[in-house]
Amino acid sequence: MPPQMKLSAITLDRPDPPALAAFYQRATGLEPHPECDADFAGLNDGDGLLPGFQRVDDYRAPHWPDRIVPQQYHLDFDVDDLDEAETRLLELRAGRPQYQPRPNHWRVLLDPAGHPFCPVAKS
């Protein structure tokens, strides 16, 4: 039987890790990890999963939905009210691409570094 693994971190590239960590901190309410600096910033979720952001000086933002620079990853966040969540995230400076494949179920937004992420309506 293969060893059991538990996801412990998700790390995103970014030219300015503290700025992206601040965006996701405001969006989720998670607390900053105590060992953040200019090269790495993370958030504590309370369940052992560390969303982290690492410095990459030649970072190229993904272009969604085209594949000039692929999306590289995306995060989904369950929300109670999709419209309210989108409004709040746009106020936090998220971007909203024109193409929305299932806007009644989720919205594709872009964090300040250009990474796609989706608030998803709870079923």
Distance CA 33, CA 45 (A): 9
Residue 5 has pLDDT above 70, yes or no: no
Please tell me the predicted confidence (pLDDT) of residue 72.
77
C-alpha count within 13 angstroms, C-beta hemisphere, residue 27: 29
pLDDT at 32: 95
Of 16-25, 41-50, 70-79, 111-120, which range is least confident? Answer: 70-79
Please give the pLDDT value at position 74: 76
Average pLDDT (72-93) is 90
Report the residue count for the chain: 123
DSSP output for 27-74: HH-PEEPTT--SSEEEEE-SSS-EEEEEE-TT-----SSSSSS-----
Position 47 confidence tier, pLDDT thresholds 50, 70, 90:
confident
What whole-number distance in Å separates Cα of residue 72 and Cα of residue 32? 24
Residue 65 pLDDT more than 90? no
Across 30-41, average pLDDT: 93
Instruction: Reply yes or no on whether the pLDDT at 43 is more than 90.
Output: yes
